[in-house]
Structure 1
Amino acid sequence: MVTIQGRQPGDFSHGNHNSGSFNKVTITLHYHRYDGDYEGWNLWVWLDGQSGRMVEFVESPAYGRSATFTMEEPTGINRVGFIIRKSTVENDWASKRFDDRFITSFDQNGYAEAWLMQGMERIYHSANEVDVSPGIISAEQNSWQEIQVKTNLAFDWDHDNIAVNLEGATIQDIRISKDHYDSDLAHQLTIITKEKLTLSDQYRVAISHFGYCDVTYGEIVRTKEFDDEFSYSGTLGAIYSEGGTLFRLWAPSASEAAVVIYPPSPDKEPILNVMEKGPKGTWSIQLNGNLHETAYMFKVKIGKYWHEAVDPYARAVTVNGEKGVVVNLAQTNPVQWTSAKPPLANIEDAIIYELHVRDASIHPNSGIQHKGKFLGLTETNTETSDGISTGLRYIKELGVTHVQLLPIYDFWTVDETRLATPQYNWGYDPKHYNAPDGSYSTDPYKPCVRIMELKQMIQTMHDQGLRVIMDVVYNHVYDAARSSFQQLVPGYYFRYTEEGWLSNGTGVGNDTASERSMMRKFIVDSLVYWATEYHLDGFRFDLMGIHDVDTMNEIRKALDSIDPAIIILGEGWDLHTALPGEKKANQYNAHKMQRIGHFNDSIRDHLKGNNFSDRDNGFVNGKSGLDYIIKQGITAGMKFPYERPSYTAPNQVVNYVEAHDNHTLWDKLCLTNPQASQEDLKAMHKLATSVVLLSQGISFLHAGQEFMRTKNGEHNSYRSPDRINQLDWDRRAEFAQEVDYIKGLIQLRKSFQSFRMRTLEQVQKFMHFYQTIDRVIAYRLDAHGHHDPAAELMVVHNARDVSVTIPLESDGPWHVLVNGTRAGIESLSIIKRDSIEVPRYGTYVLMRK
């Protein structure tokens, strides 16, 4: 045990911080095969979002084979992916070694060197770490009567004098893996036992000439029995108190565990503290003294090897998330920190504004001092040089109810040690789920600063009447092999295919396994932490369809106990992951997940054209025959039900037409209607946004949509420079009339509950559609509920390129609240006729008291 007395906050500036972004990198990979057979083996290398290429190995007398190659990318390189594969004349991919692996650490010149060994997934960063003497690499319990053993050297079972022994169980049979095309399999054998193996007994394999190895858990970790045996319900991580900190880790695969404490001075050696084994696969140790701002790591021994990892539950981290940090969270609270929030009566009342922290303030004319930082969104009275409101002041004036922030947890691909160099990423590359990202703080070297500044931002937004939603990405990790999950409990936290490869429904190399109890617990614990410690008001789930229904319902239950007004919404896409269809948390199973919203890709794609086809158009920009589908979206599927999505209440539908992904609406309209005038493009754009804001369900706007945001045609700007992604506050001034129009629509939506009905029954009873010609939708909303003014509303969306005349069946007078150029709750004109003429590409809203 170790005692560290209280000390002044450190800056954690020491250590190796070389996981940054470079325009050009050079990598040398050494590859050693014990069998000496290098025929056909080569590298496949790639950069994120780009096609790969083959790199050949060359002879390396010191270490089998090696390959040196260079990668270049003007927007920056954070990692380089590689696969070792075997090519034949018939098939370039006759075999491969392991799933995607990545080189992520480079020296100051952008150079990296690593050593690889046949049959081992580990990436060595020093030749001295590699042991080429005969040995057992691993012995893993894969089923209740099978132990798979891997050695680092091939042997001839039929002719070599090989003896295999198993302590703790009786060997019934031994299978030797042999494959002409896959010589690595000659290093594997499977022991079949007579009796059923348990999860509690200890087993050890010994092979003559190869030594011994303790049996650890293999594929068995993905069984229900494993969850039943080891599921733990208590608190995990570093549990701080002024007198001492309790460290508790869940690592049932480990035979030993320790917590490594890093003293504040870089000149002092880390202190290793052995942890005691506890119930349900846990390890713990109590260290005395005030450890506030003390850096730490967990170490576990699994089989023959030690693994070091950051605590998955770490609430604070050092620069670039290299170590966990113990934190007294009470010292991170800003002045006047309060749990009081702006009121939200019902989830359907939400009007969400999706925003990237850096985008909001980085523009040169934003008038914001803390550009690109959390604190930039605490400045409440900012404006351009021409006196036009910007930042938080502008968002408040717009009238939305929620700001949804793209990922703000600690992510991989912005180097916090090089923030003077412009870097950009959306943040869908998770590193540490429970700590804020340091690139948005004013000092990433001080772990508490990012926490306090994020809290300041949230408090300021609450003070300005805005609730805050956090974008969460629990569906995958950036680098599965190097993740804390895989280092601490290999094979447990991820889904695998029947062939034993990582499931890849996310399209980024791995899918987390939310259906397993400790992954589910981690997600729920994490969300409860963010909701309580940071007073967050909602969570947007990236690729929610990867998760399972039970986990999402458990999340809803846990958050309801904190604040039932907390919003849960997500991408309920049907993704090809290793999970039965009836368990996926997608749109088709919406009926199983009450009060959880799904992004409505149907109305998105049919308003403007398919997201994945540049030239495909939709309802507002020229395509016919879509009226019924648009009505489905307008009614949130309540009056015109969807064939497969199974929504049962309006609050399960999030209507939108653009988001951070894909082309902005403006860019899409420019692509599909290149001959259209500027005024027609504006009219189509306003028409699409008006449909979103006047539909049932939850309304969602992409930041800058109201001033027709453009990314200059970029459709995937996740790492594009600021000039592409920034909110252009000069453009906001240029499109001031359009901004006022959207403000008016927001005010209208908030003023009439008819646009925010609560139930399927209400929509069916109080919403009436008229028969119209193609590309014209007209409907009436009857007044209902004691919150609504005693008014009848009529809405007309005309997507044709000519004006249309719509009869008014009820006696007037009708007050026009929305016309082709203006919108709000004040009467713009009075109609006493029996019809109304709606202009081309226009929306009209009329009210009759």
Structure 2
Amino acid sequence: MTSMKDTYFHAKLISFEKIRLICFSSLPFDPHRYEFRCEGKKILVSLERLNSVSGISIADFALSSPLKLGHEYTVLIPGFGTIPVDVDDASTFPEFDSLYSCPEEVLGASYSPERTLFSLWAPLASACFLKARFKNEERWRIYPMKRGEKGVYRLSLEGDQDGLIYLYCIRNSGLESEVTDLYAKASLPNGEASVVLDFARLSIPLHRECVKPRLQSQAVIYEGSVRDLTIDPHTDIANKGKFLGLIEKGRRTEAGNPAGFDYLLSLGFTHLQLLPFYDFKTVDERNPSRSYNWGYDPAQYFVPEGSYCSDVEDPSSRIKELKRMVAGFHEEGIGIVMDVVYNHVYGFEDSPFQKTVPNYYFRRRGNGSMANTSGCGDDFASERPMARSLILSCCKHWIEEYGVDGFRFDLMGILDADTLLQIQKMAKGINPSFLLYGEGWNMGGEVACPLGRMENYASLPEYGFFNDFFRETAKFYFSGRESLLQKAQYCFASSSVPFHERARFLSAGQSLNYVECHDNSTYFDFLSEVRPDFTEEEKLDACLAASAFVLLSFGVPFLHSGQEIGASKWGEGNTYNKGDSYNKFPYRLLDERKEMAEKVASFLSFRKEHPEFSLSDPKDIEKALDLREEGPCLVAQVKSEGGKTITVFFNPCQSDYNIGEEWGEYRLCSKLGLKKASRKGIVPGLSATVYIR
């Protein structure tokens, strides 16, 4: 756009065959005076339509042949000068993907000791440059990149470029932007620039072989955060808030109980799901103590978060230390699940995605405004070929380079199902036991293709879904709402067996069973709200009973860190930026409630010792399970492989219940202070009690 006092011009490509010129002026508008140019040379156009009213004129000009991207297009306006033609909407044209997408192309910086090849997909750009700073140099050098087919710009730098710092300079519609590489694997602090690294020298044994192959229904998942699990001052963990802090052995609380790594191992879960540890935006990596965020604000998808490493000025530090953390858990047989956020990015307007290929990577509503299904203002267009290709490349990088063992997809219901299926094929091809699950909420959407919603479970059989029906039923049932007993029975049977309700899933492995996670209120806080009459001990008993229900129900048990000790966030739910005081794992509380953690660990161990609780096929579950009612108690009888019958009683009431003595040998009970059956045939109030016969 150009202006002269009260006169303004703007030229915009509205299809590959048409340019629209808009003029705001009190002067007469003569469309035949304007000259359209490509790289300074005149191109033929014909006036197709002209509308003028009250000083506003809109003229559409037809091109003699379809416009080819990659050139500088301008309009010469006599007496005013030259203005660029805005081609930013070309990425939204129906034929764009067939003309310019190249999902098989290897993009980013491809390193070898002899040379590094830079490949940048920027089909709308008329020019691209590599801005590079070599090792031990302060000044930047600028190199023009050569445009190839499909709008891929390339440049090869000879020699060993390990440690090279770089940015791309991209000219779109006459405007130049400096951006980081969307495919960068390493970075300066706070995403200031991308870095080339020789990953071969950063390779370490990841001990993948130590993680036992298993079905998804055999997994037990524990959710936490690198920072939250290590930051509490009431431990002697040295690397607080860091990758390395999570694998420090021999650390203790103030009372001498295991902390950090040793404590996590004592719980016995099979997989640790960590909140995002790719590079996120709103924590200053040089001063992480000054801010807090869970990390659901993606910045660089291929790069680990710098605030979690010990030396953020060294681009290799975050990479090496994350690998050491993964390897440390692998050695103990624990898999690492990565929380990934491919449904939105932080601030699309200034993101490298928008600056690299304007208007391509984000969905729009029918009226042209940004789709906001995620609530973050910029739904990622996973269904578009190059967006899908980036997601697949990213997932593959985390699996192959860092050895992660699963993905938890944030707001999975926004992602298209085809992309999820391609991730599944790739991930399972590398690791058949790879875990795949996410939030399958139906949040609407701006696309017509099938999405990763829970209602589409039949077309996503290898994916698990957070089961909110289980969550709400269990929360209220163990708060004393006896009327939910039949719904609780259905939940216990994995929601894949049609018991009182229609089957919600194809198999138990699709049901993520939980009562709390990071972005809900803790169950203790929920009970404080809905049962103000409960004593603290009753709330803790209900927390333990609900956790036992999660651990013994058919499906995939999911525990939130702190759930096992009845942790509180003081009534807050979404504490994504509330700071360490709300989010840290409270090790001082662990010292006070060690018995609770031990009881949760005992139920978890019991599940692992009895594989029948991990059955996946609904037909097998129906054969093995008998569900009954004894007063207010849910009674689940499970036939074990050895011919024995395991009977579990869940009592959601405050009072004890007499069940008689014919149920077999007492094994364990969630009730606080109860080491063994206090009275034969009595199920304590607010408890889960197990017998074997």
- TM surpasses 0.5: yes
* 2:161 aligned partner, one-letter code: L
Give distance in 1, aligned partners of 2:59 and 2:463. Answer: 46
The correspondence of residues 393-792 of structure 1 with structure 2, limited to 5 A, is 393-419=262-288, 421-580=289-448, 583-608=450-475, 618-640=476-498, 646-773=504-631, 775-783=632-640, 788-792=641-645
Q: Deviations over 1:550-592 (max 9, x none)?
A: 1100110010111011111111111132123x61211011111
Structure 1 residue 150: Cα displacement: 5.7
Contact 1:357 1:440 in 2 (8 A): yes
> Deviation string for 1:791-838 (max 9, x for gaps)?
222222111222234478xxx5612222243799xx95699x9xx432
CA contact (8 A) 1:146 1:190 kept: no
2:152 is the counterpart of 1:299:
no
Q: Deviations over 1:70-92 (max 9, x none)?
A: xxxxxxxxxxxxxxxxxxxxxxx
Q: Give the match for residue 377 of structure 1.
A: 246
Would the alpha carbon gap of residues 446 and 644 (structure 1) be closer, same or farther in structure 2, given more than 3 Å must change? farther
Specify the SS of the correspondent of 1:558.
Answer: helix
Match of 2:654 in 1: 801
Between 1:799-808 and 1:628-637, the stretch displaced more is: 799-808
The equivalent of 2:666 in structure 1 is 816
Cα distance in 2 for partners of 1:169, 1:733 equals 80
Secondary structure in 1 matching 2:124: coil
Q: 1:567 to 1:303 in 2, by over 3 A?
A: same
Deviation at 1:654, TM superposition (A): 0.6
1:238 aligns with 2:106: no
Residue aligned with 1:373, SS:
coil
Q: Which amino acid is the alignment partner of residue 522 of structure 2?
A: T
Q: Specify the code of the residue in structure 2 equivalent to 1:815.
A: E
In structure 2, what is the Cα distance between the partners aligned to 1:139 and 1:448?
A: 44
Say if 1:172 and 1:194, in contact at 8 Å, map to a contact too.
no
Which ranges in structure 2 are unaligned for 5 or more consecutive residues?
A: 38-42
1:169·1:197 contact (CA, 8 Å) conserved in 2?
Answer: no
1:294, 1:326 within 8 Å by CA — same for their partners in 2? yes
Aligned to 1:143: 15
Matched to 1:374, the amino acid is: F
Q: Alpha-carbon deviation of 1:149?
A: 4.4
1:250 aligns with 2:126: no
Task: Give the Å deviation of 1:36.
Answer: 7.8
Structure 2 CA distance for partners of 1:570 and 1:422, relative to 1, 3 Å: same
Q: Is the 8 A contact 1:693 1:745 kept in 2?
A: yes
Give, as a single letter, the amino acid of the residue that structure 2 aligns with 1:499: N
**For the structure 1 residues 272 and 655, does the alpha-carbon distance in structure 2 shift closer, same or farther, using more than 3 Å as the test?**
same
Superposed displacement of residue 267, structure 1:
4.0
Counterpart secondary structure, 1:193:
strand
Q: Could you tell me how far apart the structure 2 residues matched to 1:464 and 1:177 are?
A: 74
Distance 2:179 2:589 in 1: 46
Q: Please give the secondary structure, in 1, of the residue aligned with 2:455.
A: helix
How far is the alpha carbon of 1:687 from its aligned partner? 1.4
Aligned length: 686
Report the CA distance shift for 1:273/1:194 in structure 2 as closer, same or farther (over 3 A). closer
Whichever residue aligns with residue 244 of structure 2, its letter is L
**Alpha carbons of structure 1 residues 369 and 642: separation in structure 2 relative to 1, 3 Å:** farther
**Cα distance in 2 for residues equivalent to 1:646 and 1:638:** 6
Note closer, same or farther for the CA distance 1:680–1:429 as it changes in structure 2 (3 Å cut). same
Question: C-alpha separation between the residues in 2 aligned to 1:642 and 1:204?
Answer: 66
Q: Deviations over 1:92-141 (max 9, x none)?
A: xxxxxxxxxxxxxxxxxxxxxxxxxxxxxxxxxxxxxxxxxx7765523x
AA aligned to 1:260 is K
Letter in 2 for 1:367: D
Cα root mean square deviation, aligned: 2.8
* Distance in 1 between residues matched to 2:11 and 2:532, nearest whole Å: 61
Deviations 1:712-751 (A, max 9, x none): 2222211122222111111111111111110111001111
C-alpha separation in 1, matches of 2:21 and 2:355? 19
> Is the Cα contact below 8 Å between 1:202 and 1:215 reproduced in 2?
no
In the other structure, the counterpart of 2:153 is 283
| Equivalent in the alignment of 2:97 | 227
Q: CA deviation at 1:846?
A: 1.8
The residue aligned with 1:845 is 690
TM-score, normalising length: structure 1:
0.76
Change in 2 beyond 3 A, CA 1:634/1:143: farther
Point out where structure 1 has 5 or more consecutive residues left out of the alignment: 1-31, 38-133, 609-617
Q: Give yes or no for contact 1:695–1:755 (8 Å, CA) kept in 2.
A: yes
Cα deviation code 1:625-676 (max 9, x no counterpart):
3233323322221113797984211111111111111211111111222221
Q: CA–CA distance in 1 between the matches of 2:265 and 2:51?
A: 68
- State the AA in 1 paired with 2:664: W
Distance 2:317 2:70 in 1: 47
TM-score normalised by structure 2 residue count: 0.92
Structure 1 residues 644 and 260: CA distance shift in structure 2, 3 A: farther
Give the C-alpha shift of residue 337 in structure 1: 4.4
Aligned AA for 1:279?
E
| Counterparts of 1:159 and 1:279, CA distance in 2 | 39
Q: Higher mean Cα deviation, 286-295 or 339-348? A: 339-348
The match for 1:173 is 48
Is residue 2:182 matched to residue 1:312?
Answer: yes
Do the aligned partners of residues 696 and 143 (structure 1) sit closer, same or farther apart at CA in structure 2, a change above 3 Å counting? farther
SS at match of 1:330: helix
Query: What are the equivalent positions in structure 2 for 1:355-394 lying under 5 Å apart?
Result: 355-394=224-263
Q: What percentage of aligned pairs have identical amino acids?
A: 31
Q: 1:352 Cα shift?
A: 0.8
Q: Contact 1:816–1:830 at 8 Å: present in 2 too?
A: no
RCO higher in structure (CA 8 A, sep ≥6) = 2
Report if aligned partners of 1:213, 1:303 keep a CA contact under 8 Å in 2. no
- SS of 1:556's equivalent in the other structure is helix
Shift of 1:223: 4.8
Q: Residues of 1 paired with 2:664 and 2:678: CA distance?
A: 6
Contact 2:128 2:145 in 1 (8 A): yes
Distance 1:823 1:231, change over 3 A: farther
Output one character per residue of 1:679-706: Cα deviation in whole Å (capped at 9) or x when no partner.
2111111111111111111111111111
- Kindly tell me: are residues 249 and 818 of structure 1, through their superposed partners in 2, closer, same or farther at Cα, counting changes over 3 Å? same
Q: Secondary structure at the match of 2:424?
A: helix
Aligned partners of 1:166 and 1:203 also within 8 Å: no
Shift in alpha-carbon separation, 1:557–1:189, aligned structure 2, 3 A? farther
Task: Read off the aligned partner of 2:477 and give its amino acid letter.
Answer: F
- Structural mapping, 1:7-46, within 5 Å: none
Say which SS state the counterpart of residue 687 (structure 1) adopts: helix
Deviation at 1:249, TM superposition (A): 0.7
The structural deviation recorded for 1:382 is: 0.8
**Is the contact made by 1:598 and 1:654 (CA closer than 8 Å) also made in structure 2?**
yes
Q: Which amino acid aligns with 1:329?
A: F
Further displaced range: 279-288 or 167-176: 167-176
Match of 2:132 among 261, 264, 272: 261
CA gap 1:301/1:374 in 2 versus in 1, 3 angstroms: same
C-alpha displacement at 1:170, in angstroms?
A: 3.9
Q: Is the 8 A contact 1:799 1:841 kept in 2?
A: yes
Q: Is the 8 A contact 2:413 2:443 kept in 1?
A: yes
Distance 1:290 1:759, change over 3 A: same
Amino acid in the other structure paired with 2:197: V
Correspondence for 2:40? none
